[in-house]
Chain A
Amino acid sequence: MTAATDGHAIPPIRDLPAGRLADRARHLQAELRPRPGNRLVLPALLRPRLRTAALAMAGVCAAVAATLAFTLGGGSGGSHPAYVLETAHGDGWVGVAFTALTRLPAQHTPASSPTTTVIRGGTDGQRQLLHSIVRATRPNTITTIAVISAGTRVTLRMKAADNSLQTQWQEWLVAGAFRDRATAAGKHWTVALDNGDQLGTIARGTTPAVPPARPGDVRAARQRFERAAAKAGLRLHRLDLSRPDGVAVAATFETSHPALVLRHQMRTFLAAIGYGWHGYDGVYVDLIDRSGATVWQTATALRTTTGSVGSREDLAGCSPVASVGGYPGPPPCPVN
């Protein structure tokens, strides 16, 4: 039988296949439950550090939450499990809106050509501020920002040229810088980011300890990243520095031996730049193979406390950054 609506034939309404509604209902209930005790399945290398890290994390969480207690994820807060990105050196990154990736998305490479961002809505001042932020954010693949103001709530609805993690990271940077630069100018807006799948408020009054960039900060960051890459023996394919407010760094490395690089050199590099990435608006790092395909990537944005890590599935066990919480056991790293 065919249903015809508005003169156009479409298939009829169907139930889920036998048993699947119950399966999905059980799955949903399982996902809704906070799972504080079900957090830690990490690459083998990280496990020995985990006991101490977990203990430390309990203490650290409270302190970090006090300074970074803003969320991008709906603001309903309380019962959301905190996701933790745990590094090989035991440093952690706490937030409630991490995209926990174990597989790279189908489209993970951002559009190559810089985009001119169209900014609509809002006041002249809001548009000017956003223009100055997106001009200072490179690369930039955000195509449109619609500013929707309702009282003191300002929603930034962003559309982008692609769905890559780097583009999401740019959106976090712009939203965070907008909130903090507005606050610094005396505009105490509640800023929300709506980028299609993330819709949430960056809570007000929790300005993180990231100062606006001063003259020389960009150059210093460039030197720091280049030195760290040299120390780790990594081949820097591309390095973009920008100043949405503080300094943001996007680094791409190229290798013919991704497993080895992830297992050893990337750890050295991340340690050299400081695993927590504090002091930067955000850091994006990815590793591409000789064909130009991304095999690993991570991104953090301090002002929105958002972050993500993703890896080609067979290399997940080599990743120097792991997502704690809902992370199924990755396959073992193919190299020692």
Chain B
Amino acid sequence: MMEPDDSVLWARSRAGDSDAFGLLFERHATAIYNYCFRRLGDWAAAEDMLSIVFLEAWRRRDKELPPDKVLPWLYGIATNVVRNRRRSERRHAAALRRVPEPRPVPGFADAAIERVDDERQMQRALALIGRLPRHEQDVFALCAWSELSYEDAATSLGVPVGTIRSRLSRARRHLRELEPAFGHEQGTRVNVQEALEP
């Protein structure tokens, strides 16, 4: 059976159907989770931000969205939630306290080390990107890191497509100025396990 598309699920969500909204969550959770991680460099925080993004989306469910723009809109909410992380956490403090504690998972150690590596690598990237003006950071993270189209990024940020183009262009130019090697592969990773070994 074909699954209903986002627009149908959103229409049902707007009518108060939490099951439909749950399907949207399952469909887009990974994308939003990774986007939040890439803005914060912290997997645990990204998990909380994921919950907050969908709680905010539900709160704003009176929003009419053009067809196929549910995910870009969620990226927009995520951008605001991450930007105002403290406020977001404060607003949803009670809900976050009800999130169940993670259960121990056998064999999770390797994955944990991988995630620590990720965080170090992402923090380095964020240190560089963080030197850009905020609106350029947003566009760069959406277009370059999350591979949104210009049109979708425009929906996310509520600005014209031309603005996205110019901001992205400026962001790339600034990054080249900040780091002359920018534009070349920089895949050097710190492997925590190796680093810890004598």
Query: Which residues of A are in contact with B by a Cβ distance under 8 Å?
Result: 2, 4-11, 13-21, 23-33, 73-76, 78-80, 99-103, 105-107, 163, 165, 168, 195-199, 310, 323, 326-328
Which residues of chain B come closer than 8 Å to A27, judged between CB atoms? 51, 95, 98-100
Interface of A is mostly: loop
Contacts known (A7-B185, A19-B105); A105 close to B90, Cβ less than 8 A: yes
Interface contact A102-B30, CB-CB below 8 Å: no
Segment touching A, from B1-9, B65-73, B110-118, B159-167:
B110-118
Q: What residue in chain B is nearest A27 (Cβ atoms)? A: B99
Q: What are the residues of chain B within 8 A of A17 when measuring CB–CB?
A: 102, 105, 108, 111
Q: Please name 11 further chain A to chain B contacts, defined as beta carbons within 8 Å, in addition to the given A24-B47, A197-B88, sorted by A numbering.
A: A4-B187, A16-B47, A17-B108, A26-B100, A32-B58, A73-B59, A78-B16, A101-B90, A163-B86, A196-B87, A328-B97
Which residue of B50, B93, B184 is within 8 Å of A7 (Cβ)?
B184
Please name all residues of chain A whose beta carbon is closer than 8 Å to the beta carbon of B88 when the two chains form the complex.
Answer: 197
Q: Does A8 contact B175, Cβ atoms closer than 8 Å?
A: yes
Could you count the A-B residue pairs with CB atoms below 8 Å apart for me: how many are there? 164
A163 to B87, CA, bound (A): 6
Q: Of A79, A99, A199, which contacts B16 at CB under 8 A?
A: A79
- Offer 30 A-B interface pairs, CB within 8 angstroms, sorted by A: A5-B144, A6-B145, A7-B184, A8-B128, A9-B185, A9-B186, A10-B145, A11-B118, A14-B43, A14-B115, A16-B30, A16-B33, A16-B50, A19-B105, A20-B47, A24-B51, A27-B98, A28-B22, A28-B25, A31-B55, A32-B58, A99-B90, A102-B93, A107-B86, A165-B90, A197-B87, A197-B88, A326-B94, A328-B94, A328-B98
- Contact assessment for B175 and A74 in the assembled complex, using a CB-CB cutoff below 8 Å: no
Structural contact, B84 and A197, CB atoms closer than 8 A: yes
Contact partners of A2 in chain B: CB under 8 A: 121, 187, 189
6 A-B pairs closest in CB distance: A11-B118, A6-B144, A196-B84, A326-B94, A76-B62, A197-B87
CB distance from A102 to the nearest CB of B (A): 7
Type the 1/0 row for B123-156, where 1 means its CB is closer than 8 Å to any CB of A: 0010010000000000010001101000000000
**Which of A23, A33, A198 touches B91 (beta carbons < 8 Å)?**
A198
SS of B interface (majority): helix
Q: Name B residues whose Cβ lies closer than 8 Å to a Cβ of A.
A: 16, 18, 21-22, 25-26, 29-30, 33-34, 37-38, 43, 47, 50-51, 54-56, 58-62, 80-81, 83-84, 86-91, 93-95, 97-100, 102-103, 105, 108, 111, 115, 117-118, 121-122, 125, 128, 140, 144-145, 147, 172, 175, 182-189
Cβ contact within 8 Å between A25 and B22: yes
Task: Tell me the complex Cα distance, A64–B62, Å.
Answer: 24
Do the beta carbons of A103 and B80 come within 8 Å of each other?
Answer: no
- Verify B175–A100 contact, CB threshold 8 A: no
Known: A28-B54, A197-B80. A18 touches B108 (CB 8 A): yes
Least CB distance, B38 to chain A, in whole angstroms? 6
Once the chains are docked, how many angstroms separate the CA of A17 from the CA of B118? Answer: 14
How far, in angstroms, from A292 to B84 measured CA to CA in the complex? 25
Pairwise interchain contact B60-A105, C-beta atoms closer than 8 A = no
Which residue of chain B has the shortest Cβ distance to A327 in the bound complex?
B94
